[in-house]
Structure 1
Amino acid sequence: MCRTDIRGGIYGMAKRDELRRKELADFLRSRRRRVDPSVTGLPLASSGRRRMPGLRREEVAQISGVSLTWYTWLEQGRDINASEQVLNSIAKALRLSPVEQAHLFRLAGEKAKGPAAVETESPLHVQELLDLLNPNPAYAINRFFDILAWNRAEEALLHLTLAELPKAQRNVIWLLFNDPRARDLLPDWESEARWLVGILRAESAHQPGAPRLIELVDELRAGFPEFERLWRSHELGSFTPAERRFNHPKVGSMRLLFMKLAVEGSEGCSVVTHFAAPDSPERELLARLVATSPTGGDAHLGPPS
Structure 2
Amino acid sequence: MDAPATHENQLGTYLKNRRAKLDPAALGFPAGRRRTPGLRREEVAQRANISPTWYTWLEQGRGGAPSADVLDRIAHALMLTEVEREHLFLLGLGRPPEARYHKNEGITPRLQRVLDALNPTPAIIRTATWYVVGWNRAATAMIMDYDALPPEERNILRHIFLDPRARASQYDWESVARFVMGAFRVEAARAGAAAEIEPLVEELSRLSPEFRAMWRDNDVQGPHGERVKNIRHPILGNIEFEYSAFAVDGRQDLSMIVYNPTPEDAERVAALMDAKASSP
TM range (shorter): 0.5 to 0.7
**Native 8 Å contact 2:243 2:260 kept in 1:** yes
* Pair 148,247 (structure 1): closer, same or farther in 2 beyond 3 Å: same
Q: CA deviation at 1:116?
A: 2.5
In structure 1, how many angstroms separate the alpha carbons of the residues matched to 2:183 and 2:207? 19
Aligned with residue 118 of structure 2, among 133, 137, 142: 133
Aligned with residue 289 of structure 1, among 256, 267, 272: 272
Instruction: Supply the RMSD in Å over aligned alpha carbons.
Output: 2.2
Aligned with residue 224 of structure 1, among 208, 219, 233: 208
Q: Which has the higher strand share?
A: 2
Q: Point out where structure 2 has 5 or more consecutive residues left out of the alignment.
A: 1-94
In structure 2, how many angstroms separate the alpha carbons of the residues matched to 1:267 and 1:113? 13
User: Aligned partner of 2:146: which letter?
Assistant: L
In structure 2, how many angstroms separate the alpha carbons of the residues matched to 1:225 and 1:281? 39
- Indicate the residue corresponding to 1:257 in structure 2: 242
> Would you say 1:121 and 2:106 are equivalent positions?
yes
Q: CA deviation at 1:120?
A: 2.6
How many aligned positions are there?
A: 183
* Pair 187,196 (structure 1): closer, same or farther in 2 beyond 3 Å: same
**Native 8 Å contact 1:119 1:267 kept in 2:** no
Aligned with residue 235 of structure 1, among 214, 219, 225: 219
Cα deviation digits, residues 145-192 of structure 1 (max 9, x gap):
10001111101102x421121211101111111111111111121111
User: Aligned partner of 1:219: which letter?
Assistant: E
> Would you say 1:168 and 2:152 are equivalent positions?
yes
In structure 1, how many angstroms separate the alpha carbons of the residues matched to 2:147 and 2:196? 20
In structure 2, how many angstroms separate the alpha carbons of the residues matched to 1:283 and 1:228? 37
In structure 2, how many angstroms separate the alpha carbons of the residues matched to 1:208 and 1:241? 24
In structure 2, how many angstroms separate the alpha carbons of the residues matched to 1:177 and 1:246? 16
In structure 2, how many angstroms separate the alpha carbons of the residues matched to 1:121 and 1:128? 13
* Pair 296,271 (structure 1): closer, same or farther in 2 beyond 3 Å: farther
Aligned with residue 256 of structure 2, among 271, 283, 301: 271
- Indicate the residue corresponding to 1:181 in structure 2: 165
**Native 8 Å contact 2:227 2:244 kept in 1:** yes
1:87-98 mapped onto 2 (5 Å cutoff) = none
- Calculate percent identity across the aligned residue pairs: 29
In structure 1, how many angstroms separate the alpha carbons of the residues matched to 2:195 and 2:275? 40
Cα deviation digits, residues 220-243 of structure 1 (max 9, x gap):
111111111110001111132111
**Native 8 Å contact 2:101 2:193 kept in 1:** no
